[in-house]
Amino acid sequence: MKIDPTIFKAYDIRGVYPSEIDEQAAYKIAQAYAKLVNPKVVALACDVRLSGPALFESMKNGFIDHGVNVVDIGIVTTDMLYFAVANYKYDGGVIISASHNPREYNGMKMVRAGAVPISGDTGIKDIQKLVLENYAYKHPTPGTVSQQNVQKDYLEKCLSFIDKAKIKPLKVVCNAMFGPAVKNVLGLSLPLTIIPMNAEPNGSFPKGTPDPLLEENRIETVAQIKKEQVDLGAAWDADADRFFLFDETGRWVPGYYLTAFLAKYFCSRNPGAKIIFDPRAIWATIHEVTEAGGAPVINKAGHSFIKERMRKEEAVFAGEMSGHYYFKDYFYCDNGLIPFLLILQIVSESGQKVSKLFDEYFIQYPISGEINIDLPSPSEGEKILSRLSQNYGDAKQDRTDGLSIEYPEWRGNVRASNTQALLRLNVEAKSEELLKQKTQELLNLIKG
């Protein structure tokens, strides 16, 4: 059987099971990973997807046939895999996961020692080449398999970012989107009243795509927040490496505002700290970081690019609009539980409502939110960007990631998706009226 070359993406491996990615592919990928990384011990995990156990079994066999010892850490969140590899000093690790994709998808996120990501530029293409060349190897001494429960140590690590004693009794809605996030929250031993939602792991995702970034997936959380009269709401995607915040009124707090807010927090504790963020919307974060005496650094979106830059700059914190938050003291990796804990502490200490903490961002920094525009083909994207660049010839322009166009009163970023034939548009402006006007103008130009 021929393996589909399109499953090898910019940040990970992903495809529809079993038509694009199956057991044979999983075995081959494990073998290729072993050849490329040459590990003695790898951590292996999966998310809650129904195809996970079968793919896990095949990857495990691919590793042990290659002479690699496998540590099975079970069904975990993606950030727990990062933790296991870095904390226990394994030579690498793989989680079988398709993150927030619909239920029919599965895939792999892979790291080297220290939880350093393997991306398109740093190994995925090499793995693809080995797989497509049908690489196979059987070691005279097969690897071993052992089990490790990482939850206790993982929760301890996450809790090290806050002072547990400062957390006041708070009432919180927590939506796990049928992933394992709420199980971790319940293991924290904090004085919280948790209203759990979709908390029992279920890889058939009975309510659809497990992604809180989709507006239709937030309706249920908002309704529950209003009904229960809580202090705040939290949601995670299926593999729980992204975090989403709601205030006590049910208002969703965009990742852009949370990045700016947490950037300010880290700068106040680390004078002169470097903070990394993506170019989709930037004004609020630049303001907060410079006001707090930090150094703002704009970088291309995507977890592997952000992590690489963080290590290079020794940045303390990084955030993306998509809900990924990265911490130097968490092995320069993203984590979905730490931002939740930080918000609990800040709310407890300030005595303020979450809405009050974020009102100013909504007023000062109106944004369009990410608008996705379908493309007939990926190659069409570059033509559109050239057209926009010419049209706004008098703007300050930047090509860090797609095209950013900036004027004193508004700015826009248009970038191609790394995973689909889509253009993603984000606009920010100094007023709601100008925001509406410029968003429409850009949409008209993009659609030609």
Catalytic residues: 99
Q: Which residues have a Cβ under 8 Å from the Cβ of 314 and sit 6 or more positions away? A: 274, 328
Closest Cα to residue 427, out of 346, 351, 373? 373
State the residue for tokens 């955030």. Answer: 319
Strands (E), 164-294: 170-175, 192-197, 232-236, 243-246, 252-253, 274-277
d(CA 126, CA 129) in angstroms, rounded, equals 5
Find the farthest-apart pair of alpha carbons in the chain and give their distance in angstroms, rounded: 70
CA dihedral 110, 303, 438, 290 (to 10 degrees): 180
Contact assessment for residue 411 and residue 306, using Cβ atoms and an 8 Å cutoff: no
Q: Which residues have a Cβ under 8 Å from the Cβ of 35 and sit 6 or more positions away? A: 66, 130, 135, 137
Q: Where are the alpha helices (DSSP H) in 213-313?
A: 219-228, 255-269, 283-291, 303-313
DSSP 375: -
Contact assessment for residue 164 and residue 190, using Cβ atoms and an 8 Å cutoff: yes
Question: Can you name the residues that pair with 175 across neighbouring β-strands?
Answer: 197, 235
Q: In what order do the strands lie in the sheet with 317-319?
A: 295-298, 274-277, 317-319, 325-327, 333-334
Contact assessment for residue 77 and residue 89, using Cβ atoms and an 8 Å cutoff: no
Q: Which residues have a Cβ under 8 Å from the Cβ of 71 and sit 6 or more positions away? A: 41, 42, 43, 44, 84, 88, 90, 146, 147, 148
DSSP letters of 426-446? EEEESSHHHHHHHHHHHHHHH
Give residue 200's Cα distance to chain centre. Answer: 21
DSSP letters of 387-407? HHHHHTTTSEEE-SSSEEEE-
Question: Can you name the residues that pair with 318 across neighbouring β-strands?
Answer: 276, 326
Q: How many CB atoms lie within 10 A of CB 445?
A: 14
d(CA 364, CA 348) in angstroms, rounded, equals 25
d(CA 302, CA 312) in angstroms, rounded, equals 16
